Amino acid sequence: MADVLMQIDGRPASAADLGHFVLSNYGAFTSMQVEDGAVRGLDLHLARLEAEAIELFGVAVPEATLRERMRQALHGRSGRFSLRVNLFSDAISLRAPDAVVQPRVLATLSPPASPLTTPLRLQTQIYAREVPHLKHAATFGLTRARRQAVLAGFDDVLFVDGEGRISEGSIWNIGFVQGETVVWPEAPMLAGTGQALLQRGLASAGLGEETRRVTLADLGAFDAAFICNSATPTCEVAAIDGHRFDPSDALIARLIDAWRINPRQAI
């Protein structure tokens, strides 16, 4: 296959089809890693697409249709791929924003994403994504924030509010470890599929969890920190600003075990 394959509603995406999508960022998406036609947490991605469609367009895309669009993009291919499913509508624009319509489905198939493995150095920035509970297509702010962090010599950016309360990173969730407990920040953010998969498996790995307010002043209370998303089950955090964490291969192994307990679900 070509490096990237794009289909809209099951057909090859033409320049005319993509025109509105390129000119408007009103829409949402989900991204997943596919292996031999199956995805860990497929149910989470489908639930996300349903919620996004209802909130942004007023009408959900039937699950059977979403699965069919994904299968059409894969076209029976075996192996590993990244699959991104976008929802958009050329019936909605800045001049005419009030249509209630089932969104169109853009499926993009590309080579698999490589999970992050090198511990990350994070720069904090005061920032919050617009409507953070949605994985929407308006990514200017977070891209700019990540660019600023990288140009400053960091690997990525961690978002905090004006009181130092931690929320999420550019394209991932963050977790902290205190003894045998994973602590998730309590703040407006996207509920990530990678985070949800870890949560489903933590007990089997002998780890507890809780969600509570976490601020920069609390960092010294934690033994470790890690990030997670659909492409990276877990990757250690080496430092947040000037605060450093000690690496722990044993912790990463336990978190990977928690993620792996989730079976792949056939599309």
Question: Which of 42, 27, 61, 63 lies closest to 135 in space, CA to CA?
Answer: 27
Give the architecture-level CATH label for domain 120-266: Alpha-Beta Barrel (3.20)
Q: What is the pLDDT of residues 204-219, one digit of tens each?
A: 999 999 999 999 999 9
74, 146, 148, 163, 222 from 158: Cα distances, Å: 34, 9, 12, 14, 16
pLDDT of residue 17: 86
Q: Which two tokens stand for residue 248?
A: 């722990």
Return d(Cα 252, Cα 262) in angstroms, integer.
16
Q: What is the DSSP string of 65-76?
A: HHHHHHHHHHTT
19, 22, 137, 142, 254 from 130: Cα distances, Å: 24, 20, 11, 10, 34
Return d(Cα 242, Cα 251) in angstroms, integer.
22
State which amino acid sits at residue 185: P
Return d(Cα 186, Cα 173) in angstroms, integer.
11
Return d(Cα 173, Cα 187) in angstroms, integer.
11
pLDDT of residue 1: 58
Return d(Cα 104, Cα 14) in angstroms, integer.
14
pLDDT of residue 129: 96
Q: What is the pLDDT of residues 198-251, one digit of tens each?
A: 999 999 999 999 999 999 999 999 999 999 999 999 999 999 999 999 989 999
Q: What is the pLDDT of residues 95-117, one digit of tens each?
A: 999 999 999 999 999 999 999 99
User: What's the alpha-carbon Rg for the chain, to the nearest Å?
Assistant: 19
CB 134 within 8 A of CB 34: no
User: What is the percent of the chain where pLDDT is above 90?
Assistant: 96
Per-residue DSSP letter, 192: -
Return d(Cα 196, Cα 181) in angstroms, integer.
16
Domain regions of the chain by residue span: 5-110, 120-266
Residues 6+ apart with CB under 8 A from 203: none
Class of 5-110 per CATH? alpha beta
Per-residue DSSP letter, 163: T
Per-residue DSSP letter, 115: P
- The DSSP element (H or E) to which 43 belongs, if any, is helix 42-57
